[in-house]
Amino acid sequence: MKAKLLVVNLWGLGDLVIATPFLQAASQTFEVVLLAKPYAKDLQARFWSRVKVVPFVAPWTAFHYSDKYRLLRWPWRAIFRLRKQLLGEHFDFALSARWDPRDHLLLALTRAKARLGFPRLGSSRFLSRPLARPDPREHQYEYWRVLGHALGLEVPPREKLQPPPPPGNEILVHTGAGQPVRVWPLNRYRTLVTRLRQQNHRVRLACDPDQQTWWADAGEPEVAVPSTVVELLTLIDHSGAFIGNDSGPGHLAALCGVPTFTLFGPQLPEWFAPLHPASESLEGKACPYKPCSDYCQFPLPYCMVNSGVEEVWARVQSFINRNWKGRSISLTS
């Protein structure tokens, strides 16, 4: 009988994608329960079918500080029900890859026999096995590799990950992001899309719901607006390259075998670049507050807006040329 492992990953889509190689390895050895946002169920069947998903939206993962800590508005009944459910699982191991005391308190409340994590602000009191954090310059994926090593799992290094071949022959350009400070200006994306089409590339444009009207007014009435991970996967399955902001869709495309070009802003590529060996990125411009976790100190996110069209176009052209050289699928077909 397999030991039971709880994995806490309550944040964004990109965080879940980065955790995927760990979840795949862990599910071979453990009976894995993943506590995550509800869209984890959309990833489950395709990427880690042996993992049981318990959906939960943690109130402290809200973006605005005013929403995070209004304790009277927290869904306390749901929280108590969740604790009762997790206690009933009788976990042998529980872990989180974030150095977040709230995650660590949650691990302690499950009464798992072994609780693994990266302590911060005294949260080692909630952990039975505090782990040393990787080098600060390392990618977030390395936290999962450290956890894997602590559990005796073989989680491959980034350079040895082997994504599948790109599934399609369109260039998917996704202009959305989890937060406005990560969005490259839409009028510049429009120029980029126009130039790609002028070179006879097949471009599929996707955006977030709040961007749809802008694109319609710009003459793009057929822009896709995926509202679920399943709808996003359908778009990705027709793609051979992805261009977009530092956001979940890019990470998901890379996991599906699609090379990505990512426009970074407040975060750092060395920490959050998509997990694909052919993926490339343009780092956001310098700022004294960077990385700033999306809470911009200025009226405009200059780390994003100071990346000009010509600079991005030159990098995108090189990216496209490298990733289609020698391929049998033509974008102009």
Average pLDDT over the chain reads 92
pLDDT on residue 295: 83
Q: Which residues pair with 170 in a beta bridge?
A: 239
Q: Kindly list the domain boundaries of the chain, sorted by start residue.
A: 4-160, 170-324
Mean pLDDT for 163-180 is 93
Class of domain 170-324: alpha beta
Its pTM stands at 0.93
Mean pLDDT of 2-18: 96
Q: Do residues 268 and 283 touch, judged by C-beta distance below 8 A? A: yes
* Residue-wise pLDDT tens digits, 102-149: 999 999 999 999 999 999 999 999 999 999 999 999 999 999 999 999
- Is the model's pLDDT at 236 over the cut of 80? yes
pLDDT number for residue 59: 85
Segment 199-207 shows an average pLDDT of 95
Give the pLDDT confidence score for residue 221 in this predicted structure.
Answer: 85
4-160 maps to which CATH number? 3.40.50.2000
Condensed to tens digits (0 to 9), the pLDDT of residues 238-251 reads 999 999 999 999 99
327 Cβ contact partners less than 8 Å away, ≥ 6 residues apart: 240
4-160 shares its CATH topology with 170-324: yes
